[in-house]
């Protein structure tokens, strides 16, 4: 989210803005420090201390990051507080010090611009002896475990004493320090684990860029293994710890794509086989992901047979069977003739990806009857066990019908997909509109609406709304809204109805806000109430909104959080 400094108060959620300003006014923000040109860092004291980083370019915040756990919106109150701190000399706040933007003292002499952190560090490094730096690093590494671990992993390529076991031991320490007294990593601590482990991943990334693959492999193997174990001890609902494994796996894929030296290729291949046979990542995508990597980098027929044997040895679920078939196909493409590959695909068309490839190949070769036959066989095969897949096969039938210019089939398949599919409704609707004549279109749409009304479910409701909006049927929109009224639905129709039916929307909002307030308590619900009161005002219902506010204050005088939120409307 880009945040222009001259209008950030207009684009940030009012509640977040208010809380950020409160943090700034109450002195919870340390003075922002310019780390590098345009890059600022500041500590904000909240429930805990949080670090905020902002990047400014042309008076626009182009990047922003806070290590707090807030994930309900693009910007947290800590980021807002730091923005206020950066602009404090433009706010009407009483500040004893002179403006930071002043370039001259009272004497008229120019003031030196404060150096960035990177400039300060560069100056110190330039003027410090080599021996003094060595002593500092040595002493810091001995005293500070986090610094020691980061130093060892970053410069592992310069040491022969680094092993996967040593890195794993360091990672275990990170996990242990994040665990509570019951040996479990609570939700708020997973981000801390990610930040510390990510330093190792960044060190591995740097080593890969310098072609120091051997030590990068050790880091990736250790991170994947230890973080997979850690997931079992954590509330990883934000995916922080699993994200570490993903990043390490991505680095292994990066190494495999760079045609690494033979010893590195062999080391990576052997690890993939080892991890699969041991079931280290069993139940996770990385289990077959590593086998996929192995199939990408296999070097000879012996390795190919080893891979195939591994896939045959373990019992597989239906989902795993599909993954294994994909890997086998990759191996066959590298080691067998095109005829053998084709024969394998034809024998395993129950695999969705194989059937897709076969249909597309038939279409590309203009074998349209074969494509139709494969698609219809897919519908028959999946309609009971995997009904969600039949839309994929109908989509292929629609593609063939378009190529054959068969209007009746185009309408049949596009209508089916529009009415039943879970995606691309706009595309299918457009296809129908292009295939049906203008004179018949209104009746066709009326029939669509009638059929959707007759079989009510959530998806059909979404389709009805889509049609009303697409066809600009305002009266039907309003009628539908009145029968399915909720704050969410009013907002959904607001854009289309605001011009002609603002009064009706205001009345609907007023009624639903009062109903919502009766049924819901808690600050998040009060924030929702205030959001819709502001929408009422934008529609021209300022007086009505004020009446609602007054009514809510009287009716719920014993809800201090609600009264606090209403004060900002």
SS3 state at 53: strand
Shortest CA distance to 116 belongs to which of 61, 52, 41? 41
pLDDT digits (tens), the chain, 569 positions? 789 888 888 888 888 999 999 898 888 998 888 888 889 999 998 778 889 999 998 889 998 988 887 767 788 999 999 999 888 744 443 444 433 444 444 445 544 556 777 778 888 888 888 888 888 887 887 777 667 766 766 665 455 557 888 899 889 989 998 888 788 998 878 888 998 899 899 999 999 999 989 999 999 999 999 999 999 999 998 899 999 999 999 999 999 999 999 999 999 999 999 999 999 999 999 999 999 999 999 999 999 999 999 998 877 787 788 899 999 999 999 999 999 998 999 999 999 999 999 999 999 999 999 999 999 999 999 998 889 899 999 999 999 999 999 999 999 999 999 998 767 889 999 999 999 999 999 999 999 999 998 876 666 788 888 899 899 999 999 999 999 899 999 998 898 999 999 999 999 999 999 999 999 999 889 999 999 999 999 999 999 999 999 999 999 999 999 998 898 88
Residue 2: its pLDDT value, please? 85
CB 513 within 8 A of CB 530: no
Q: What is the pLDDT of residue 61?
A: 92
If we measure between CA atoms, which residue out of 143, 26, 119, 122 comes closest to residue 77? 26
What was the pLDDT predicted at 181? 78
Neighbouring C-beta atoms of residue 88, cutoff 10 Å: 18
Cα–chain center distance at 490: 28
Give just the sign of the alpha carbon dihedral 33, 35, 38, 44: negative
Asked if 52 contacts 66 with a C-beta cutoff of 8 angstroms, the reply is yes
Distance CA 172, CA 314 (A): 30
Residue 255 contacts residue 208 (beta carbons within 8 Å)? yes
Report the pLDDT value the prediction gives residue 289, as an integer from 0 to 100.
95
3-state secondary structure 238-266: CCHHHHHHHHHHHHHHHHHHCCCCHHHHH
Helix (H, G, I), strand (E, B) or coil at 212: coil
């Amino acid at each position: 989210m880009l945040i222009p400094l001259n209008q950030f108060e207009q684009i940030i959620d009012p509640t977040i803005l208010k809380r950020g300003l409160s943090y700034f006014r109450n002195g919870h923000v340390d003075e922002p420090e310019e780390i590098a040109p345009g890059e600022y860092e500041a500590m904000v004291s909240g429930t805990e201390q949080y670090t905020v980083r902002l990047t400014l370019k042309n008076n626009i915040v182009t990047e922003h990051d806070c290590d707090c756990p807030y994930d309900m919106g693009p910007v947290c109150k800590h980021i807002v507080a730091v923005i206020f701190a950066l602009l404090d000399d433009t706010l009407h706040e009483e500040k004893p010090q002179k403006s930071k933007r002043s370039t001259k003292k009272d004497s008229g002499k120019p003031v030196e611009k404060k150096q960035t952190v990177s400039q300060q560090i560069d100056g110190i490094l330039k003027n410090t002896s080599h021996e003094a730096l060595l002593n500092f690093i040595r002493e810091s590494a001995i005293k500070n475990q986090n610094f020691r671990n980061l130093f060892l992993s970053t410069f592992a390529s310069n040491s022969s004493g680094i092993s996967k076991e040593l890195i794993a031991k360091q990672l275990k320490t990170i996990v242990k320090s994040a665990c509570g007294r019951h040996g479990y990593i609570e939700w708020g601590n997973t981000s801390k684990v990610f930040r510390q482990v990510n330093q190792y991943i960044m060190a591995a990334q740097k080593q890969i860029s310098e072609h120091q693959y051997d030590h990068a492999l050790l880091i990736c193997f250790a991170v994947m293994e230890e973080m997979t174990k850690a997931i079992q001890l954590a509330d990883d609902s934000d995916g922080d710890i699993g994200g570490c494994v993903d990043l390490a796996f991505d680095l292994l894929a990066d190494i495999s794509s760079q045609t690494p030296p033979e010893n590195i290729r062999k080391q990576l291949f052997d690890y993939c086989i080892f991890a699969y046979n041991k079931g280290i990542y069993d139940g996770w995508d990385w289990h077959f992901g590593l086998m996929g990597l192995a199939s990408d980098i296999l070097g000879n027929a012996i390795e190919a047979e080893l891979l195939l044997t591994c896939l045959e040895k373990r019992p597989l679920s239906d989902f795993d069977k599909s993954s294994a078939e994909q890997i086998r196909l990759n191996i066959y493409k590298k080691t067998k003739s095109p005829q053998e590959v084709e024969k394998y695909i034809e024998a395993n068309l129950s695999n969705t990806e194989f059937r897709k490839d076969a249909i597309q190949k038939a279409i590309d070769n203009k074998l349209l009857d074969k494509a139709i036959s494969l698609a219809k066989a897919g519908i028959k095969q999946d309609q009971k066990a995997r009904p969600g897949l039949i839309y994929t096969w109908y989509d292929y039938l629609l593609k063939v019908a378009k190529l054959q210019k068969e209007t009746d089939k185009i309408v049949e398949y596009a209508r089916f997909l529009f009415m039943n599919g879970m995606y691309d409704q706009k595309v299918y609707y457009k296809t129908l509109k292009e295939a049906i004549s203008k004179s018949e279109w209104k009746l066709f749409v009326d029939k669509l609406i009638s059929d959707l009304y007759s079989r009510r479910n959530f998806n059909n409701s979404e389709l009805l709304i889509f049609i009303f909006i697409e066809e600009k049927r305002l009266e039907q929109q309003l009628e539908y809204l009145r029968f399915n009224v909720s704050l969410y639905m009013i907002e959904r129709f607001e854009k289309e109805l605001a011009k002609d039916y603002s009064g009706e929307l205001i009345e609907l909002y007023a009624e639903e806000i009062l109903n919502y307030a009766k049924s819901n308590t808690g600050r998040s619900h009060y924030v929702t109430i205030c959001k819709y009161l502001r929408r009422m005002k934008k529609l021209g219902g300022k007086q009505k909104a004020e009446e609602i506010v007054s009514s809510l204050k009287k009716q719920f005088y014993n809800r201090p959080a609600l009264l606090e939120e209403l004060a900002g409307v």
